[in-house]
């Protein structure tokens, strides 16, 4: 499947491409960006593997990760979308998993809700899956609020690499 390009009031949400690579690698090397995602910032090689993986999901599942860019100037702000990460968390198995991450300079501006509202709206129309799940570190209060705004509801807690995680579910239409 060809990834969509979605436009919101402030964002262009587009397929990951080489033009995003350097900003992506820099963002994921920042410990602020990864503090609720992994114990350490990503090395350049780890970022490359995740970058290629995010783009590669599209050909396997019909969904994947996209770049979130500022509509006014094209600046890379973050990335996310839907994935299958094979995390070993039983409650994620067989479900598209929503995820989002933003560079520190893009925090607290409403971009996550804006981007993921567009992606989930696309998914509700384009995908057959009636349910999407996500995990959020329970100490990441900003992402917990985003998840709630997007219609995700806590179904259980589990343990992740950075500590306790909430497993959330969202039914089609939020």
Span 131-140, pLDDT tens digits: 999 999 999 9
- Residue 1 clears pLDDT 90, i.e. is over it: no
The 8-class DSSP code of residue 60 comes to H
6-129: what CATH class?
A: alpha beta
Tokens for 83? 């994935």
- Listed as own residue / partner, the contacts of 2-5 with beta carbons closer than 8 Å and 24 or more positions apart are 2/58, 3/55, 3/58, 3/64, 3/66, 4/66, 4/122, 4/126
The CB-side HSE value for 42 (13 A sphere, CA atoms) comes to: 17
If we measure between CA atoms, which residue out of 27, 35, 126 comes closest to residue 82? Answer: 126
Give the end-to-end CA distance of the chain in Å, rounded to a whole number: 24
Beta-carbon contacts of 95 under 8 Å, excluding residues fewer than 6 positions away, are: 129, 131, 132, 133
**How far is Cα 85 from Cα 88, in angstroms, rounded to an integer?**
9
DSSP 78-122: EEEEEE----S-GGGTTS-EEEEEE-GGGTTSSHHHHHHHHHHHH
Tally the residues of the chain: 174
Span 35-66, pLDDT tens digits: 999 889 999 999 999 999 999 999 999 999 99
**How far is Cα 23 from Cα 47, in angstroms, rounded to an integer?**
11
What is the pLDDT at residue 161? 77
Kindly report the number of other CB atoms within 10 A of residue 33's CB atom.
21
Span 117-165, pLDDT tens digits: 999 999 999 999 999 999 999 999 999 999 999 999 999 999 877 789 9
- Write down the domain spans for the chain: 6-129
């Amino acid at each position: 499947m060809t990834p969509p390009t979605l436009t919101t009031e402030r964002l262009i949400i587009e397929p990951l491409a080489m033009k995003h690579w350097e900003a992506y690698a820099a963002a994921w090397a920042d410990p602020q960006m990864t503090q609720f995602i992994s114990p350490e910032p990503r090395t350049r090689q780890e970022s490359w593997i995740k970058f290629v993986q995010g783009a590669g999901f599209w050909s396997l599942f019909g969904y994947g990760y996209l770049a979130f860019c500022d509509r006014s100037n094209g600046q890379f702000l973050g990335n996310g979308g839907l994935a299958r990460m094979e995390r070993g968390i039983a409650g994620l198995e067989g479900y598209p998993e929503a995820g989002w991450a933003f560079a520190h300079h893009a925090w607290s501006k409403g971009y996550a809700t804006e981007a993921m509202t567009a992606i989930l709206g696309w998914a509700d129309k384009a995908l057959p899956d009636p349910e999407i799940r996500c995990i959020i570190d329970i100490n990441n209060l900003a992402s917990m609020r985003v998840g709630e705004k997007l219609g995700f509801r806590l179904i259980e807690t589990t343990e992740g690499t950075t500590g306790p995680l909430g497993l959330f579910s969202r039914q089609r239409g939020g």
